Each structure stands twice: as structure tokens, then as C-alpha cells.
Amino acid sequence: MSRRQPSLRTRLRIVALGAVLLAFDAAFVAAAYVLAHVALALLPLVGYQFELMARALSFDLVALRPVLVVGTPLVLLVQSVFGYRLTLREAREYDIGPDRELKNILLADRSADETDDEPEETVVAAPTLEDRVARLAQTADVTVPDVRVLDVETPNSYVASRPGERTLFLTVGLLEALDDEELDAVIGHELAHLSNGDAFVMTAAAFLPTVSGRFLDGLAGALRRSWIARKLFDLDGPDDSNLSNLEIPLLLFTPVAVLTVGPLYLAGTATYRLLSRIREYAADAGGAAISGSPAALSSALETLTADPRPETDLRMAETGVRELCVLPYAMSETDEEVPDDRLGRLRRRCDWLCNRVLPGSHPDPDERIAALRDRQAEIEG
């Protein structure tokens, strides 16, 4: 079967969304420009020296245009480097590691000669999996990625990429759940992301929602350490903590920061999820061609969706890992507890609203399965 390339329409949509993401980079630089001037304007309140305030609020300390010209490509460079590192870091706590034997990975014996009703469980060493990936990568005509197995029960997979570096992540749950042909199909799906070039775009694109989301979380944490904010808004926090002269500047800075970064986070996340949705159909078609069987990928999706997993996970939503996965399942349940104060309740309402308003990160699995079945019917017909 010849490997099907993404349609021109799909490529144009990915390019268009990539251009939008570049525009968000420029907006990110502009937001940083505004917040830096506001912070400088509020800084004199710390030392009660007000000479700098008027000049900072006039936004003429540094011209915006050269900041955009220099800052936008710099942010793009940072995205490409640290977006990839961030993805690797989030998987590190689950990574079994290349130097350890995969003693706890039990797969059904894939021998064609097996005749027992229940296949024997056997330990599969790392080279076996790497050889499988290398064989499929040769079919896909892509550089063989590094392979990392994550000690996670949720069946899932994803790839992260930047120029010169590519990593394929597979969970133990995925390896245990799929048979030989289904596993080939899912790996082929991930390799298609590399072949189509969208893996790098997605890895870099995760950086902006991650940074803006963590900035807002950090701002909430600072408010909980503020004595004035705790008294005004009934927030949970250490009773003996205070920010001294930073209290008033923080309270004045917070609404400006939320109104500046909040919309950027929502818009960046929406675009990121739309890009994730578009690329999945192309990767399904490419993965079916690489493995040689649309039916195998269809069967894999049916197997993986037979036992629905939680799709909402605050940590995974922040890091963008969920959008990279073959299915929108969190890798594990987060241990993070949002305090039950006004900020915590506002956080939960915002999360609920985002899940209702923002587009989903993946197409409906039934639609993907139907498309693969149509593809299989075309081949057989």
C-alpha cells in the first residue's frame, strides 16, 4: 500500500494555523511588553519613589516595533527548544528508561504458532520494540525516533519533535492492550505525525499555553501569600506570610495581568486544539498506509476506546501532552488539589467553561473509525 500524503486542504489548514500560532507569538511578546511596563510603573511603590511611574506608563521606555521584530523570532526559537524539553520533562517521572530491562512490561506472545486459547505472557525486551519502530520508520521513510516506554496504565502514545531530535512515547497500558497488527498501526500513526511535519509544530505550539497557564497559576499562588489579598478575598494560605511592600503593587498588577494573559491563554489553547484535531485524520490515513491495514488502526481505536478514560486532567491540560496523544486521555490522575477558596472555585469554573467553550483536542473516535473503515472498503473494493 502506498503511503497516503495529507491532502492539500489539510496542509493549507495546518499552515494557516501555524501562521496563527506565529501571530500569537507576536501577541505574547506584546503582552510581555505591556506587563513589563506596568510592573516598572508599580515598582516605585515598593521604595516609595515615583519618578519612574509616569514614564513607564507612557510606554516609551522602549519602542514596541523593535521589541516585536526581535522578540517574536526569539520566542519561536525558545518554543522549539524548550517546548520539546518540557514534553520530555513531563514524561520523565513515568519513563522506565533505556538502560533498564522492561521487566514489568508483559505482552501477549506474538508468535504466529501460538495455539492456546489464552496466549502466554512473555517479557519483551527493549530492542524488540525498537526493532519494530525501526522497521515501520523505514516504511514511513522517516528518521528512527528515540523510543521511551512510560510506566502508565492508561493506553496511549505520542511523539515530540524538534529539528534533529524525535522521541516516541508508548505507555505500558498501550503495549498490553494491543495485538501485533494494532500496535504496528498505532506506531505508524505516530510516525505519520513525524512524516507530515506537524509533530514539531505541535511540540512548539504547546509552549505558549503552558507558559501563560503557569504564569496565571503563579499569580494565584502569589495572591495566596499576600496578607491583604487573603483578608479581602478570603483565600487559603499561610497565616504568617506576607509580601511586605509588594502587597499593593501585586494587587494592582493582578487585574492587568489577568486581562492581558487570560485571553492569550484561551486563544492559544483554542488554536492549539484545532491544530490537534486537523492533524489526527491525516495521521490516521498515513498510519494505516505505513502499517498496511486501515482495519488494524480501526481495531486499535475500538480497543482503546472500549474502556473510556478520564479526558480532563489539569496537569496534562496545562502541559499540552494530552493534545499530542493518539487519544485525549490523561496519562494519570493528577494529585493536585485546588484549594476550596474563592480563587479555587473561580479556577474550577474557568476550567469547566474552557472545556465547554473551547474546541476538543481530538475528533470523535467513532468518526475516525468510520473514516478508516471507508478506507479499508476502498482497498478491498
Catalytic residues: 190
C-alpha distances out from residue 141 to 2, 120, 279, Å: 12, 34, 19
d(CA 291, CA 1): 9
Dihedral angle, C-alpha 47, 52, 57, 63, nearest 10 °: -130
- Pair 298, 373: CB distance under 8 Å: yes
Report the SS3 class of residue 108. strand
d(CA 31, CA 9): 32
Q: Any idea how long the chain is? A: 381
Alpha helices in 149-226 (DSSP H): 172-177, 180-196, 198-205, 207-224
- Pair 166, 194: CB distance under 8 Å: yes
| Secondary structure element (H or E) that encloses residue 107, with its range | strand 106-108
- Pair 75, 264: CB distance under 8 Å: no
* 263: Cβ contacts below 8 Å, ≥ 6 apart: none
C-alpha cell at position 375: 478506507
Q: Tell me whether residue 149 is exposed, middle or buried, using C-beta atoms within 10 angstroms of its C-beta: 0 to 12, 13 to 18, 19 or more.
A: buried
Q: Which residue type, as a one-letter code, is found at position 245?
A: N
Q: Which residue type, as a one-letter code, is found at position 305?
A: T
C-alpha cell at position 214: 503557569
Alpha helices in 225-359 (DSSP H): 227-233, 247-291, 294-305, 314-319, 321-324, 342-357
Within 13 A of 201's CA, how many CA atoms are on the CB side?
Answer: 25
d(CA 300, CA 155): 11
d(CA 201, CA 317): 17
